[in-house]
Amino acid sequence: MPSYGDLQNKIVLLTGGANGIGAATVAAFSAQGSIVEFCDLDPSAGKRVQADNPGSRFTRVNIANEADVVKWIAGVIKRRSHIDVVVNNAAVDPRIPLEKMNSARLDELVAVNLRPIFITARESVPHMQRGSIINVASITFHTAPANMSAYVATKGAVLGCTRSLARELGPRGVRVNTVSPGWIMTDRQLRDYVDADVKKLIKRSQCIPDLLQPGDIGEVILFLASDASRAITGQEILADRGWAHS
């Protein structure tokens, strides 16, 4: 892993840090000496991640509840006084055919995948002196898989939000970018979706066939948080080993 000296002691706010990409990203920042304030709904996994990563602090937060998010960030500010990096990682990705989609399920997806991005930005930016916001989207916006239209719609909205926030927050010195991962071998994906046929699809679709791991995305997020990416804002990085390219 590259070393980013400017991330040492930086205050990082991260959603969905108990498992998968989020947990790997907490570990990546911790290895850089950052102070990571992360939230999740899974207390047992969150406490394990906290125990494994010095400088991290877990808080149970329902990010679909605005009051929960506001209270959490207020607590971070009280403890730390400011925020340097925001990583909007938490999301749900159900497979729902169109005929089974209803407004309640759509609202649930928006409440988790999109709305918290606005809330975390609104609550954090007044306490950021320059800094970086990283939103996690998905290559599904580019590949458009079946039975995921609502999920893909929320991730497309994340890209639009990133572009507009980058323009709005640029005068404050705050950069805003998106990371769009490919199919990542998280424990949940391996348990629920990735079988032998899916692995063949992934290897056939990617330019480089190696399966992507959560830590691969954590390192891209580190780059976007660091001064090494100071020239980059309003952009999407496709971290998919070339799937969308092909």
Q: Which of 29, 58, 72, 151 is catalytic?
A: 151
Backbone φ and ψ for 48, nearest 5 degrees, come out as -65, -45
* Annotation says 4 is catalytic: no
The full DSSP string for the chain is ----GGGTT-EEEEES-SSHHHHHHHHHHHHTT-EEEEEES-HHHHHHHHHHSTTEEEEE--TTSHHHHHHHHHHHHHHHS--SEEEE---------GGG--HHHHHHHHHHHTHHHHHHHHHHGGG-SSEEEEEE--THHHH--TT-HHHHHHHHHHHHHHHHHHHHHGGGTEEEEEEEE-SB--HHHHHHT--HHHHHHHHHHSSS-SPB-HHHHHHHHHHHHSGGGTT--S-EEEESTTTTT-
CA dist., res. 218 & res. 60, Å (int): 21
Provide the annotated active-site residues.
151
